[in-house]
Chain A
Amino acid sequence: MSTENTETEERTVRCMIAKVGLDGHDRGARVVARAFRDAGFEVIYSGLHKAPDEIVQAAVQEDVDVLGISILSGAHNTLVPKVIAGLEEYGAKEDTLVLVGGVIPEEDREDLKDEGVAAIFGPGTPIEETIEFVRENAPER
């Protein structure tokens, strides 16, 4: 019998930080990825220039709890809903916390949230705030 006590041992949150589309601005994605790792999360970084479908496949295969999508190209209205639709197709939408980071105009935010984005973190967000959000909202296994 295993003696491990699931009550006291904190579960490791699995996160994927993903760059979708052609946008190569990865400074924020890399900083957040490293900060998540330092915060004790398990982190996978997608690498650049991924199609929405590639991200969905990877997120599903890696069975992540949190998917952080970084996008600064202005193509968020097209690409983010595609990722979410993909997760839904695999039945993974419900147990994946989807976050978006980058330059997202105010008027696009509601639509993205309606699609299923849990939170949007714009420029200047303290990383601690993002980490806290993940700790509080990462889905239970």
Chain B
Amino acid sequence: MFDDDELERIRESREDWEEETLDPFLEYGERKERFATVSNHEVDRLYTPEDIEDIDYDEDLGFPGEPPYTRGAYPTMYRGRTWTMRQFAGFGTAEETNERFHYLIDEGQTGLSTAFDMPSLMGLDSDHPMSEGEVGKEGVAVDTLADMEVLFDGIDIGEVSTSFTINPSAAVIYAMYVALADEQGVPRDEVRGTLQNDMLKEFIAQKEWVIPPEPSLGIVTDTVEFAVEETPKFHPVSVSGYHIREAGSTAVQEAAFTLADGFAYVEDCLDRGMETDDFAPLLSFFFNSHNSVFEEVAKFRASRRIYSRLMEDWYGASKDESKRLKFHTQTAGQSLTAQQPMNNIVRVTLQALAGVLGGTQSLHTNSYDEALALPSEEAVRVALRTQQIIAEESGVADIVDPLGGSFAVEKLTDEMEEEILEYIHEIKEMGDGSVRDGVLKGIDDGYFLREIQDSSYEYQQRVERGEEVVVGVNEYTMEEDTSPDILQVDETTRDRQLERLERVKEERDDEEVEDCLDALSEAIESDDNVMPYIVDAVKAYATMGEIMEVFEEHHGSYQETVTAI
């Protein structure tokens, strides 16, 4: 961005500065021998135009809303409207969550976000032995369409957009939502929302699964195909790096593995004969935002640039919408401390700020008490207010990509891009030219697990050695009595949920359920898209567990292959 003469002058004056001004100061030394981000990426003392001499403004940065989207996904960004403040909620039975939904809608929220309990996430019914102790604990319990009817009672699903954080059993929840739209008379093409449904990152990091990776990927692709044809306003997959980072990866690994997962889905859809421009606009992403502000901003900007370029170069995307990386962000749960929990409000603020400076489309801010228990109402409110203060008071939302052109941030963006691409190429090589095959191979042989585990162990050692300061944990500690006001889940939840499940099973037509499950089984056998069959089954009130069992019968249940430490 500077001509050669100018750069030469800057180089000379930098050398003068180092000799005359800097060196005398260095005699006193600096705080550390080496400065690095939370991902252990070393940073320099100072960045100058020399660091960005290779950047071509039009090619590499361009303007917001145009490829390669380095400066933002949309031209006006938050001047048009602020990011969506999407706080994730759900607990107990469908009745309780429905009440919370009505409260949020009355408060003006138009986007709902649903958290499910562990059994629902793992595709198990509430009466399964493994469900004991977990029903309604970390989210709402859903066994059958009857639960979804209660969950959305009094809510016109043509008017709201709903996000579902669920994976191995995502197709069943999606089918239930479609069935609900049919019941409410809402045309399917008006159904809006997002399904997390990213199975690849489950095997890599979050570790909720039912059947093995390859058939799991097949179901995800079925949902994409179904969405393209039936619910074109519904995002069937949210490709997620959040959990990869939470499992201990670095920022680079998070972005690299997530983009690789995204490309794996793209390749699987292309193999089905779909066209990139038909399905790519429906893909969205979900990232973590951690402590090192500039590293995070660089990660978001680099990811947008890589996605835009590779979608075009590798997968022939031609529509802008197919190259535009849109993402949700959540602040880093792992960074929260149980010690001096109020300090977490500040951590969340900085992480949220990084997400906003990085151009996120929506944001969840964590509650300060999450290292202690499920969040209390007050903590949830403070988390939401944090976003509102950033949006309304800080002024950072008034300028598009305000850090663009910063020597430091542009240089870090370049470095991140290079390191992310290195991983993506490595994965592609592992798959002999196919990113999808590389990802599947990496899952199978423990590549991702090792990469992430090494990073997380290395981080923990840096903390133990005091190289990474965690305020209140290894520095600035104090004796304290931590007994904040925390949310308790009603222990009768399970009983109430089991009663409903039993009633539904009594009232439904068992023969119809059997027929639907048989039809699903045949569809799996003949490689048909399973979605229409799941929709039929949920309409007959087949349970989530019954449906997932059909898949297990065909594909077997998955067991972790690598338990080495």
A-B interface, 5 closest residue pairs, ranked by CB to CB distance from nearest: A78-B133, A24-B207, A75-B133, A22-B118, A47-B563
Q: B208 contacts the other chain (Cβ, under 8 Å)?
A: yes
- Interface residues in A22-39 (C-beta closer than 8 Å to B): 22-24, 26-27, 30-31, 33-35, 37
Known contacts A21-B118, A74-B138: A123-B371 contact under CB 8 Å? yes
Known contacts A48-B560, A74-B374, A78-B132: A126-B474 contact under CB 8 Å? yes
Which stretch from B221-229, B384-392, B481-489, B521-529 is at the chain A interface? B481-489
Known contacts A105-B486, A123-B337: A43-B208 contact under CB 8 Å? no
Chain A residues near B137: list those with CB within 8 A: 73-75
Chain B residues near A34: list those with CB within 8 A: 453, 457, 565
Contacting pair B457 A124 (CB below 8 A): no
Chain B residues near A124: list those with CB within 8 A: 337-339, 371, 470, 472-473
Taking A30-B565, A34-B457, A78-B133 as given, write out 15 further A-B residue pairs in contact, using a Cβ cutoff of 8 Å, ordered by the A residue number.
A21-B130, A22-B118, A27-B334, A31-B456, A31-B460, A34-B453, A43-B565, A46-B563, A49-B130, A73-B137, A103-B338, A103-B373, A122-B338, A124-B338, A127-B460
**Which residue in A24, A35, A74, A122 is a CB contact (below 8 Å) of B460?**
A35
A123 to B119 alpha-carbon distance, docked (Å): 25
Chain B residues near A106: list those with CB within 8 A: 372, 482-483
A30 to B560 alpha-carbon distance, docked (Å): 14
Chain B residues near A133: list those with CB within 8 A: none
Interface size of B by CB at 8 A reads 46
Residue of B nearest to A124 (CB): B473
Chain A residues near B132: list those with CB within 8 A: 78-79
Q: A107 contacts the other chain (Cβ, under 8 Å)?
A: yes
Q: B178 contacts the other chain (Cβ, under 8 Å)?
A: no
Chain A residues near B457: list those with CB within 8 A: 30-31, 34-35
Contacting pair B373 A73 (CB below 8 A): no
Contact with A along B241-263 (1 / 0, CB 8 A): 00000111000000000000000
Report 5 cross-chain contacts, Cβ distance below 8 Å, ordered by A residue: A22-B121, A30-B457, A35-B460, A47-B560, A47-B563
Chain A residues near B470: list those with CB within 8 A: 124
Residue of B nearest to A26 (CB): B207
Contacting pair A23 B118 (CB below 8 A): yes
A122 to B474 alpha-carbon distance, docked (Å): 14
Task: Give residues in B with beta carbon < 8 Å to A.
Answer: 118-119, 121-122, 124, 129-134, 137-138, 206-208, 246-248, 334, 336-339, 371-374, 453, 456-457, 460, 464, 470, 472-474, 482-483, 486, 489, 559-560, 563-565
Task: Give residues in A with beta carbon < 8 Å to B.
Answer: 21-24, 26-27, 30-31, 33-35, 37, 43, 45-49, 51, 73-75, 77-79, 103, 105-107, 122-124, 126-128
A43 to B564 alpha-carbon distance, docked (Å): 10
Contacting pair A79 B133 (CB below 8 A): yes
Known contacts A74-B374, A124-B337: A47-B559 contact under CB 8 Å? yes
Q: For A24, A31, A123, A128, which residue has the most chain B Cβ atoms within 10 angstroms?
A: A24
**Nearest chain B CB to A134 CB, angstrom units:** 16
Chain A residues near B372: list those with CB within 8 A: 103, 105-106
Known contacts A45-B565, A106-B482, A122-B338: A30-B559 contact under CB 8 Å? no
Q: For B206, B472, B474, B560, which residue has the most chain A Cβ atoms within 10 angstroms?
A: B560
**Which residue in B134, B334, B559, B564 is a CB contact (below 8 Å) of A21?**
B134
Contacting pair B456 A30 (CB below 8 A): yes
Chain A residues near B129: list those with CB within 8 A: 51
Chain B residues near A46: list those with CB within 8 A: 563
**Nearest chain A CB to B478 CB, angstrom units:** 13
Chain A residues near B453: list those with CB within 8 A: 30, 34
A103 to B456 alpha-carbon distance, docked (Å): 19
A124 to B563 alpha-carbon distance, docked (Å): 24
**Which residue in A27, A31, A45, A77 is a CB contact (below 8 Å) of B133?**
A77
A27 to B122 alpha-carbon distance, docked (Å): 19
**Nearest chain A CB to B8 CB, angstrom units:** 49
**Which residue in A26, A31, A107, A126 is a CB contact (below 8 Å) of B483?**
A107
Residue of B nearest to A122 (CB): B338
**Which residue in A21, A74, A103, A123 is a CB contact (below 8 Å) of B489?**
A74
Chain A residues near B563: list those with CB within 8 A: 45-47
Chain B residues near A26: list those with CB within 8 A: 207, 247
**Nearest chain A CB to B464 CB, angstrom units:** 6
**Nearest chain A CB to B324 CB, angstrom units:** 31
**Nearest chain B CB to A44 CB, angstrom units:** 9
Contacting pair B371 A103 (CB below 8 A): yes
Known contacts A24-B206, A51-B129, A124-B473: A75-B338 contact under CB 8 Å? no
